Chains A and B, each alone.
Chain A
Amino acid sequence: MSGLLEARELSVRIGDTTVCHGLDLTIHAGESWALLGRNGTGKTTLLLHLAGLLPTQAGTISLVDGPLHAMTPRARARRVALLLQHSGSGLGASVLETVLGGRHPHLATLAWEGPADLAIARQSLAAMGLTEFEQRSLETLSGGELRRVEIARVLTQQCPLSLLDEPLNHLDLAHQAACLQVLGTQCVSPQRAMLMVVHDLNVAYHACGRWLLLDGAGGWHAGTRESLSDPQLLSRIYAHPIMRIETADGPVFQPGHLVPGGAVTAARSPC
């Protein structure tokens, strides 16, 4: 069976950085992917390419029903949802109005959102614990609340594929857990899949069965978390010692030298 998204021989560069060279990636329905790598390796850039927002320089990206670059922006946004790392607070829009923006690619030019669209938006708000916030202006929200509104908009978009750039940013631990729970049920199903940029290896391990690692020099590793969660490989990817501690609940990852002042020297000498 073909994947929701297939990248073949994809090479992406930004400035002097080669993000990936000859990437072959197939995301099947039902899969949950973590995109991992150091700061500045181009994870966001790769995400923008996979979402069809940047023109590919070499290689192809296709969705189930055709190559990504041949689709209209609207058609693309019905198939791929993208959660940006940073977003604006808008010009006085309410939480509900913002989340309804997720229905935009599904609606005709002059159409208003109907009861069905409203119901989807309200379900998404409820899933993110934002029911009480419906009429609040975005400008009055905290960073974490704004992040949940943005995730609710992605849920409202109801796309087969969700690409999420650091979805857990600004969220406290309780909301991180709740959010992962919602993403795991709503964005991953027999028809849907997601790929998220994440920095916490423990989150990546428990939430994502598949990993895509970028080494910052164009090299990449794609596969199951079991095959890629080797501490030596991870230490090389992050240029920092990473320890893998086995517990009854599965492995726990921890960076070495978590002592103030110690981390800097350790970062220069990967094991």
Chain B
Amino acid sequence: MTAALHPRRLPLYGLLLAGVSLLLALLIGSAEIPAGDVLAYLVTDDGSVNDRIVDQLRLPRALSAFAVGGLLALAGTLMQVLLRNPLGDPYVLGVSGGAATAVLLAMLLTLPGAWYTPAALGGALLSTLLVFGMARHGDDWHGDRLLLTGVVVAAGWGALISFVLSISPAVQLPGMLFWLMGDLADATRPGVPLLVLATGLLLARLRARELNIASQGLLQAAALGVDTRRLRLELYFLGAVFTAAAVAVAGSVGFVGLITPHLIRRLGGADHRILLPTAALAGGSLLVLADSAARTLISPMQLPVGVLTALFGVPVFLILLHRRTER
């Protein structure tokens, strides 16, 4: 498909979208704050309630949403190459589930919040190993088998999560549930996830041309001079780290990793040198917008953002699956 958009300009459009969505997230909310004041609060500090709402609530939350969305989109992009299937996504493949189970266990044991990220990483890596180890056949994988294994492993994590919830004390349950559904209400420290997003994007960008070739299979990539053993390990590891960093901040938010790369490919950005930065920017923007909707749709009540992305993502996934099997 040829798009009217010039593919090389896609990252620029992504940047534009990111700016607009972040600005929107700062401007809207339960408290009505004039736009001019919002911008003023960003640079000056007058100690008012509105100032604190903008600086300490809206801004960190918007940046956290951006980092989480970007991380999930990158994870999805890498997993789709590993699977050679546009249905790859950390949520669908159970990598989010593994990370979420580990964090829930940490919550159950009332470990301090600093443990969540390492726990999420452990769970994500374990889940990745499980899925890709089980679906491996010889030196290559069959994409469909990988996908099925991932779906089944995700169901397994789901059962474990239910188990942990059922034995958890009642006072902890609401917090656990909200976090599980994908919630950014407590995301107040965007620094680490943004850092992971930036460094991860740079690392993945080094492999962008290899990802282009690996989209046609790892054997084909090897024939064109890619060290596939190294590439595969890097993709596992980066995919797990991106997912873990996202889950530790916001719980399991589904389908951002699925939809974002797919949309960008449809706009002509199949080249990973374009796809990776655009996916990071667009995925971030998508979650910022979704989270802005989540906290204003039925204001003053807040929805977990994962509910919104799933409501939007499930039909998209089904349409994609339907179109692929039709061919």
> A: which residues have CB within 8 A of B?
51, 53, 72-78, 81-82, 84, 87-94, 97-98, 101-102, 104-105, 107, 109-110, 112, 135, 137, 139, 157
Q: Are A51 and B223 in contact (CB-based, < 8 A)?
A: yes
| Contact status of A78 and B225, CB under 8 A, knowing A93-B271, A137-B1 | yes
Q: Are B265 and A91 in contact (CB-based, < 8 A)?
A: yes
The distance from the CB of B274 to the nearest CB of chain A, in whole angstroms, is 10
The distance from the CB of B230 to the nearest CB of chain A, in whole angstroms, is 9
Q: Are A91 and B81 in contact (CB-based, < 8 A)?
A: yes
The distance from the CB of B174 to the nearest CB of chain A, in whole angstroms, is 41
CB closest chain-A residue, reference B2? A135
A53 to B220, CA, bound (A): 10
Which of B113-121, B209-217, B278-286 lies at the interface with chain A? B209-217
Report chain A residues within 8 Å CB of B86.
Answer: 91-92
| Contact status of A157 and B224, CB under 8 A, knowing A93-B271, A101-B213 | yes
Q: Are B265 and A53 in contact (CB-based, < 8 A)?
A: no
Near A by CB (< 8 A), chain B positions 255-287 give: 265-266, 270-271, 273
Q: Are A97 and B212 in contact (CB-based, < 8 A)?
A: yes
| Contact status of A84 and B219, CB under 8 A, knowing A91-B80, A94-B270 | yes
Q: Are A97 and B216 in contact (CB-based, < 8 A)?
A: no
Report chain B residues within 8 Å CB of A73.
Answer: 222, 225-227
CB closest chain-A residue, reference B229? A73
| Contact status of A84 and B223, CB under 8 A, knowing A91-B80, A91-B84, A91-B270 | yes
Q: Are B206 and A110 in contact (CB-based, < 8 A)?
A: yes
A-B CB contact pairs (8 Å), 30 listed: A53-B222, A72-B225, A73-B225, A73-B226, A77-B224, A84-B217, A84-B219, A87-B217, A87-B220, A88-B216, A88-B217, A88-B220, A90-B270, A91-B81, A91-B215, A91-B265, A92-B86, A92-B265, A93-B212, A93-B271, A97-B270, A98-B216, A101-B212, A101-B213, A101-B224, A102-B224, A104-B209, A104-B210, A104-B226, A109-B209
A137 to B213, CA, bound (A): 15
CB closest chain-A residue, reference B217? A88
A107 to B86, CA, bound (A): 27
The answer, among B2, B84, B266, B273, for a CB contact under 8 Å with A112, is B273
A82 to B2, CA, bound (A): 30
A88 to B2, CA, bound (A): 21
A241 to B215, CA, bound (A): 43
Q: Are A87 and B270 in contact (CB-based, < 8 A)?
A: no
CB closest chain-A residue, reference B266? A92
The distance from the CB of A233 to the nearest CB of chain B, in whole angstroms, is 32
The distance from the CB of A157 to the nearest CB of chain B, in whole angstroms, is 7
A72 to B229, CA, bound (A): 13
The distance from the CB of B327 to the nearest CB of chain A, in whole angstroms, is 8
A90 to B215, CA, bound (A): 5
Near A by CB (< 8 A), chain B positions 1-45 give: 1-2
Report chain A residues within 8 Å CB of B217.
Answer: 84, 87-88
Other contacts beyond A77-B225, A91-B265: 9, CB < 8 A = A53-B222, A87-B220, A88-B215, A89-B216, A90-B216, A91-B84, A91-B86, A92-B266, A105-B225
A93 to B226, CA, bound (A): 18
The answer, among B216, B225, B327, for a CB contact under 8 Å with A74, is B225
A73 to B215, CA, bound (A): 18
7 nearest A-B pairs in the assembled complex, by CB-CB distance: A77-B225, A105-B225, A92-B265, A92-B270, A82-B223, A74-B225, A88-B216
A53 to B226, CA, bound (A): 11
CB closest chain-A residue, reference B261? A91
The answer, among B81, B225, B327, for a CB contact under 8 Å with A104, is B225
The answer, among A77, A88, A112, for a CB contact under 8 Å with B223, is A77
Near A by CB (< 8 A), chain B positions 288-327 give: 327
A94 to B86, CA, bound (A): 16
Q: Are B222 and A104 in contact (CB-based, < 8 A)?
A: no
The answer, among A76, A78, A97, A109, for a CB contact under 8 Å with B206, is A109
Report chain A residues within 8 Å CB of B266.
Answer: 92
A5 to B301, CA, bound (A): 72
CB closest chain-B residue, reference A78? B225
The distance from the CB of B259 to the nearest CB of chain A, in whole angstroms, is 14
The answer, among A75, A88, A97, A105, for a CB contact under 8 Å with B224, is A105
A179 to B241, CA, bound (A): 46
The answer, among A78, A93, A104, A105, for a CB contact under 8 Å with B270, is A93
Report chain A residues within 8 Å CB of B220.
Answer: 84, 87-88
A111 to B223, CA, bound (A): 20
Report chain A residues within 8 Å CB of B271.
Answer: 93, 97
Report chain A residues within 8 Å CB of B80.
Answer: 91
| Contact status of A107 and B209, CB under 8 A, knowing A87-B217, A87-B220, A157-B224 | yes
A212 to B223, CA, bound (A): 22
| Contact status of A104 and B84, CB under 8 A, knowing A82-B223, A87-B220, A91-B270 | no
Report chain A residues within 8 Å CB of B213.
Answer: 101, 104
